[in-house]
């Protein structure tokens, strides 16, 4: 009876995916400063299964959330994209404290629409590219700075990071904006499609966000469907889905094969843990089922100042946020002077530790001497390759404690190797062309 009261035809249910393909500049589709995994890895290096939720008993994914509470919000594009970034941060940091979860509400409040004369779309929909492009030029805080409200807000100081007191302050408001806080962005972003290329991207740098086509069968008959298909959702529709049916964005974190031989993707949804398999699901892999392999995106996350906080270089004040521990307290306010926010243009040099996301995985004992990557002797001792840049960068990463989570993939016998295609070298496209392509959106 309850189900009959609340069921809404899926064709009328808006999940939140609205493509920017027809309005975004073609030149700004990607911002890439090196080779992509599929340009470096071979198909033989793809393991038969990978699940970032459990790599040798360690989970490299962050907590599950729900886009539909405290009220309904068409924010799948935000949840799928931010989940992939959160998990890539955790992978880069080898699951070390803290678990970082970027503020979904700031994305709701601040990512601009295709038509800048209108307010940010937020719960009215968008796509992963809009978020990645925004984070390339701007930094945001985490969930503790601005929690999810599931409603459109304002992109001001209060809409980005806030704190509150039991009693109203001098401005007769119990809450105020925090001027300085831990911030995150992305240094690169791009697109990927097709089973093999998706696997290589997930293997090399972590989960990705993908668009898919949902229908009433998937929403309301999921449990009965997987019961008949070895735990894997298989679209019962006789008519294949098309690009026009795409209406949802989800995070893809791995792949595998069921006991009966059904290949599948491991996917996180954003409808709460009471839906699906604790909020997750498996869908048939290799046949672009429900359009899951047609439109995916990735980004390399960065942080402006996380390491400064973890190292004790800066600390947080209740009223102002981050400040130097040795800063002089203001006589007039009785608080420490807040740190000035750092510009996104200097983000990469301020956060070298995030370079760990440029590490690729390969199976132990496998070599590619002609490509100049790390190789291994019979004694399992790594030796320097002929690729000087790769050797130098790997040494730097090791010095800051980031040996690369790719080493944990599939089994404890996998080793990480730096692939020479990843560097801070300029993009292949001329700088002038990149600037021209980015220009319409630099006014964020």
Active-site annotation, residues: 76, 248, 269
298 token code pair: 């990735």
* Residue 201 and residue 207 in contact, taking contact as beta carbons nearer than 8 Å: no
Angle at 51 between CA 47 and CA 52, to 5 degrees: 115
Closest CA to 184 of 129, 144, 127: 144
Distance from first CA to last CA of the chain, Å, rounded? 48
Helix (H) or strand (E) holding 280: strand 280-284
Question: What's the CA gap between 34 and 418, in Å, rounded?
Answer: 13
* Residue 255 and residue 221 in contact, taking contact as beta carbons nearer than 8 Å: no
Q: For 166, what's the count of Cα atoms within 13 Å in the CB-facing half-sphere?
A: 0
219 C-beta neighbours (distance < 10 Å), count: 17
Closest CA to 201 of 396, 379, 38: 38
Residue showing tokens 């100042």 = 305
Question: What's the CA gap between 232 and 279, in Å, rounded?
Answer: 14
241 DSSP 8-state letter: P
* Residue 178 and residue 156 in contact, taking contact as beta carbons nearer than 8 Å: no
41 C-beta neighbours (distance < 10 Å), count: 24
- Beta-bridge partners for 268: 251, 280
Closest CA to 374 of 366, 403, 276, 82: 366
256 token code pair: 């595998």
């Amino acid at each position: 009876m309850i189900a009959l009261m609340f069921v809404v035809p899926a064709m009328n249910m808006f999940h939140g995916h609205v493509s920017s393909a027809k309005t975004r500049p073609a030149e700004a589709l990607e911002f890439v400063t090196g080779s992509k995994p599929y340009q470096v890895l071979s198909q033989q290096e793809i393991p038969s299964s990978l699940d970032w939720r459990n790599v040798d008993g360690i989970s490299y994914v962050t907590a599950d959330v729900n886009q539909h509470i405290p009220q309904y919000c068409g924010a799948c594009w935000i949840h799928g994209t931010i989940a992939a970034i959160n998990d890539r941060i955790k992978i880069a940091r080898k699951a070390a404290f803290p678990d970082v979860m970027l503020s979904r509400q700031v994305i709701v409040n601040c990512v601009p629409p295709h038509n800048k004369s209108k307010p940010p779309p937020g719960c009215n929909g968008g796509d992963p590219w809009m978020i990645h492009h925004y984070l390339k030029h701007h930094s945001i805080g985490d969930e503790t700075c601005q929690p999810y409200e599931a409603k459109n807000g304002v992109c001001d100081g209060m809409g980005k990071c806030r704190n509150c007191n039991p009693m109203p302050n001098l401005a007769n408001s119990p809450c105020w904006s925090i001027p300085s806080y831990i911030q995150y962005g992305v240094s690169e972003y791009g697109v990927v499609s097709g089973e093999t290329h998706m696997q290589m991207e997930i293997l090399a740098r972590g989960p990705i966000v993908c668009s898919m086509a949902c229908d009433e069968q998937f929403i309301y008959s999921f449990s009965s469907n997987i019961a008949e298909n070895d735990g894997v959702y298989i679209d019962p529709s006789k008519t294949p889905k098309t690009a026009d049916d795409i209406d949802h964005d989800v995070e893809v974190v791995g792949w595998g094969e069921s006991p009966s031989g059904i290949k599948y993707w491991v996917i996180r949804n954003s409808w709460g843990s009471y839906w699906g398999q604790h909020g997750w699901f498996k869908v048939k892999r290799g046949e672009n089922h429900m359009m899951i392999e047609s439109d995916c995106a990735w980004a390399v996350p960065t942080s402006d100042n996380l390491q400064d906080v973890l190292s004790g270089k800066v600390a947080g004040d209740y009223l102002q946020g981050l400040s130097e521990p040795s800063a002089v307290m203001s006589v007039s306010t009785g608080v420490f002077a807040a740190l000035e926010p750092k510009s996104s243009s200097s983000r990469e040099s301020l956060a070298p530790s995030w370079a760990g996301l440029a590490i690729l995985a390969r199976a132990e004992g496998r070599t590619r001497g002609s490509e100049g990557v790390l190789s291994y002797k019979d004694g399992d001792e790594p030796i320097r390759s002929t690729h000087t840049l790769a050797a130098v960068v790997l040494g730097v990463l090791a010095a800051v404690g980031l040996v690369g989570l790719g080493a944990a993939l599939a089994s404890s016998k996998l080793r990480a190797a730096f692939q020479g295609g990843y560097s801070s070298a300029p993009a292949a496209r001329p700088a002038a062309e990149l600037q021209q392509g980015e220009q319409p959106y630099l006014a964020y």
